[in-house]
Amino acid sequence: MLILTRKVGEAIAIGGEIKVAVLGIQGKQVKLGVTAPEKVSVYRDEIFKKIQQENVKTSISLKEDLQELARMIKAKKGKKSQP
């Protein structure tokens, strides 16, 4: 982890396309501004973690749905092949 010290009005650059600026400090809170291309998603960490959890749940559900569909197709094929 890179640890930097910045003052209000100062920024850091990430790659050539992302800039994180310190906009203000109030007590224990730091207000940051992020400039990034539209193709780059920027989330608060807690929101990003929830998105990841939902993606895992969705992928598990999708896998189960595909397995059930495969079973149904096999069962239907089995019925067609019987005289």
Paired strand residues for 20:
12, 34
Q: According to the model, what pLDDT value does residue 82 have?
A: 63
- What pLDDT digit, counting tens, does each position of 16-63 carry? 999 999 999 999 999 999 999 999 999 999 999 999 998 887 878 777
Domain boundaries, the chain: 1-39, 43-83
With 90 as the cut, is the pLDDT of residue 64 above it? no
CA distance 61 to 53: 12
